[in-house]
Amino acid sequence: MNTKTLRLGVLVSGRGSNMEAIIKAGEEGKLNAKVVVVISDRSEAPALKKAERKNIKSLYVNPKQFSTKAEYEEELIKIFSSFEVDLIILAGFMRLLSPRFLSYYKNKVLNIHPSLLPSFPGLEPQKQAIDYGVKVSGCTVHFVDEGMDTGPIILQRAVPVLEDDDAESLAERILKEEHDLYWRAIQLIAEGRVTIEGRKVILK
């Protein structure tokens, strides 16, 4: 199998625990991919410090310094291009990317969402799941398109909702699975096993 070592750029707004799990999978030789640059829209994001400790270039790009969203995203594209990034990984990035950005990186932006999409997209999906009373939730790795959590699905994993769960305890159990699932989806892409046909992701 023709496996390529992918160069990953990460967009993050917070603690970056999924980013850490991806870096770790790479270090352990399970993942043919390397995080080469981490960009945050928040100066105080713990993910930046975590990346620095791993000697990964970490940058705070302040959206408020740009007069338009287009200019801000142009800067992101410029940075990712300079690092020759193959895939962009969203790891708790709290901004919607524009159609222009997504067409530039068509089928090259990944996200992980803590529900079994298309159920419970958007904010607080764990609370949505608890409030709705579902017995099973989980997480989904998908390509990012112009909608909110609507892109083609690569991998999903189910997590049972327990009787005494609240949003926090459910989120914690789902997060453990996220940490294992995200890098596996990236590895499938590194192995050239992912193709998209319409809405469907075909795994060879």
pLDDT at 160: 98
Q: Please tell me whether residue 55 adopts helix, strand or coil conformation.
A: coil
Q: Is residue 135 part of a domain?
A: yes
Cβ–Cβ contacts within 10 Å for residue 11, how many?
Answer: 25
pLDDT at 1: 53
Q: How many CA atoms lie within 13 A of 7 on its CB side?
A: 11
Distances (CA, A) of 193 to 8, 86, 153, 154: 18, 15, 14, 11
- 44: tokens are 């105080």
Cβ atoms 190, 4 nearer than 8 A: yes
Could you tell me what percent of the chain has a pLDDT over 90? 97
Distance of CA 22 to the CA centre of its chain: 10
Q: Is residue 23 part of a domain?
A: yes
Q: Given CA atoms 8, 9, 11, 14 in this order, what sign does their dihedral have?
A: positive
CA–CA–CA angle 60, 63, 68 (5° rounding): 150
Q: Is residue 152 part of a domain?
A: yes
Count of domains forming the chain:
1
Catalytic annotation present for 113: yes
List 108, 113, 142, 179, catalytic entry: 113
Q: Is residue 29 part of a domain?
A: yes
pLDDT, tens digit, for every residue of 54-99? 999 999 999 999 999 999 999 999 999 999 999 999 999 999 999 9
Q: Is residue 81 part of a domain?
A: yes
Q: How many CA atoms lie within 13 A of 144 on its CB side?
A: 25
pLDDT at 3: 72
- pLDDT beneath 70: ranges in the chain: 1-2
pLDDT at 104: 96
Model pTM score: 0.95
Q: Is residue 1 part of a domain?
A: no
Domain housing 26: 6-203
Cβ–Cβ contacts within 10 Å for residue 109, how many?
Answer: 22
CATH value at residue 187 = 3.40.50.170
Q: Is residue 158 part of a domain?
A: yes
